[in-house]
Structure 1
């Protein structure tokens, strides 16, 4: 959790710094697109991480609507 929080703070600092640079301060929406791609990438990484950690495919569960029942050692 500490590593995740540090990465999130680093991401906030990076996007904040990017807003001060000329390359990302354009009025054509490039800054907004960059933030969207960062959010999409973080979401995909989170889904992959959760799928690997819980040994089940969350994408498949979203498609067919079925997940395995929690085992005794699972955290709810």
Structure 2
């Protein structure tokens, strides 16, 4: 078992204990978000740092009161 520390923009994003280490340029899913592995740093045999690029979340646009009125008509 290996401890993997996932980093985004040089800040720790997530730590996980796994059996297999992802490869570079491999697409993975972390906390329900898609990510791509950029770089691997093996600190020792039990600790690996993985630098990832997370896919941006799409923010939902809030509906204004005027738009609600138009839809009801």
Q: TM-score range by the shorter chain?
A: under 0.3
Higher relative contact order by CA 8 Å / sep ≥ 6: 1 or 2?
A: 2
Bigger share in helix:
1
Rg larger in structure: 2
Bigger share in strand:
2
Q: What TM-score do the two structures reach when normalised by structure 1? A: 0.24
